[in-house]
Amino acid sequence: MPSNDFRYIGPVAVSCPDGFQWNVKAEKCYTIEIYGPINGTNLVKGCQNILPEAFPVEPRDSTQMDHIKEVTGSDRIWLGMRKPDDFSDMHDFRYYSDGKRIEYQYWIPSKPNYEHHKEYCVLIRPDFNYRWNDVRCTILRKFICQL
């Protein structure tokens, strides 16, 4: 059931579902709460348990990344991108929602390094200025979702 939280973008009103909030700069609805912890393997399922059309947060430009920095605080948060199991290129990370290769990147220097061929998932590291780190998908971390 949609909330009464409307935002007007030109002549169009944008409404986010309950539990989500519109971000004007990022032009997306994001979950209001931080959820988890969950492992990276179950990340999509975690968002879709909140709302079937939701996906883990996917920063596609610096504006979206700035919003994500604001809401994560000191938590290490999963991002909605993953290295495919069947690609050997260590820099080939793709978005969960559409499978497209990531173009905007905000990695910690020397990352991704795909250490021991086991780091398929990506999270934000507040202790490294909210840059991205490739990690094992089996660890437990918090997450936020977007529409």
pLDDT, residue 86, reads: 66
Q: Is the pLDDT of residue 81 over 70?
A: yes
HEC string of the chain? CEEEEEEEECCEEEEEECCEEEECCCCEEEECCCEEEEEHHHHHHHHHHHCCCCEECCCCCHHHHHHHHHHHCCCCEEEEEECCCCCCCCCCCEECCCCCECCCCCECCCCCCCHHHCCCEEEEEHHHCCEEEEECCCCEEEECEEC
Rounded to the nearest 5°, which phi and psi values hold at 7?
-125, 140
Q: What is the pLDDT of residues 93-142, one digit of tens each?
A: 999 999 999 999 999 999 998 777 789 999 999 999 999 999 999 999 99
Mean model confidence pLDDT for the chain: 87
What's the pTM? 0.85
Q: Tell me if 59 sits within 8 A of 132, measured CB to CB.
A: no
CA atoms within 13 A on the CB side of 13: 6
